[in-house]
Amino acid sequence: MPNPAERKAELLPQLFERLMAIHEAGRKAVVIIDEANMLKSKDIFEEFRGLSNLEVPGRKLISIVLLGLPELEDHMAIDPPLVQRIAVKVGIKSLDAGATANYVRHRMAVAGAKTSIFESEALAAVHAYSKGIPRVINTLCDNCLLEAFLIKKDRVNAALVTDVAKDMGLVAP
């Protein structure tokens, strides 16, 4: 929209027109909101619900994807009609030790690692300290890699993971 209106009453018709153009072009409009668990206002959830009403026969014109921590569900509970409109809900469970190791190896390979930088015992320690939570795994591993670089080590061992985890305030397994 080159010149979006400032008032909601004028903006909604503009938005509908743009969504129709996207629909007629055979495409789908998607709004993705990360860290949606930070949203706690009923007014915001009512706006999402209103946007979800924009449709043509047999098809919604916009999909709204909310990504967030588990408390997002609690926050959304303040607007039951919105909760009733949820078509798909997915929760990510904690990874087990094997999945944690595979996850770290995969991320390292995608980043371009040609060799195994995390020793097997280090991967077990990453799982123990992170409790298999992907976000914590990422942060812990990032910090381990930085620490290894700073102390000029080519590999991350369990002792290094333990030191970094303690510095991060992670509870010992």
Any idea where the domains of the chain sit in the sequence?
A: 8-84, 97-167
pLDDT in tens, 141-163: 999 999 999 999 999 999 999 99
Q: Which pLDDT belongs to residue 1?
A: 60
The residue-averaged pLDDT of 110-138 equals 96
Q: Look up residue 156 and give its DSSP letter.
A: B
> CA distances (Å), 135 to each of 47, 79, 81, 104, 141, in order?
29, 28, 31, 12, 10
Q: Residues of the chain with pLDDT > 70: what percent?
A: 99
Burial string for 53-78 (b: 16+ CB within 10 Å, else e) reads: ebeeeeebbbebebebeeebeebbee
* Gap between the Cα atoms of 147 and 162, Å rounded: 12
User: Checking DSSP bridges between strand 59-60 and strand 62-66, what pairing results, if any?
Assistant: unpaired
Are 157 and 125 spatial neighbours (Cβ–Cβ below 8 Å)? no
Distance CA 25, CA 35 (A): 30
Residues 6 or more apart whose CB falls under 8 angstroms from that of 61 comprise 16, 19, 20, 22, 23, 29, 54, 55
Mean pLDDT of 120-136: 96
For CA atoms 102, 104, 110, 114, give the dihedral sign: negative
Confidence at residue 31, expressed as pLDDT on a 0 to 100 scale: 94
If pLDDT is split at 50, 70 and 90, which confidence band does 172 have? confident
> Is residue 2 pLDDT above 80, yes or no?
no
pLDDT surpasses 90 at 25: yes
Can you give the pTM of this predicted structure?
A: 0.68
pLDDT at 119: 98
Q: Residue 5 has what pLDDT?
A: 82
* Domain made up of 97-167: CATH architecture: Orthogonal Bundle (1.10)
CA-to-CA distance for 162 and 173, rounded, in angstroms?
10
Q: Has residue 10 got a pLDDT over 80?
A: yes
Chain-wide mean pLDDT for the chain? 93
Question: pLDDT tens digits, residue range 62-96?
Answer: 999 999 888 999 999 999 998 998 888 888 889 99
Given this model, what pLDDT does residue 4 score? 85
pLDDT at 92: 84
3 state SS of 32: strand
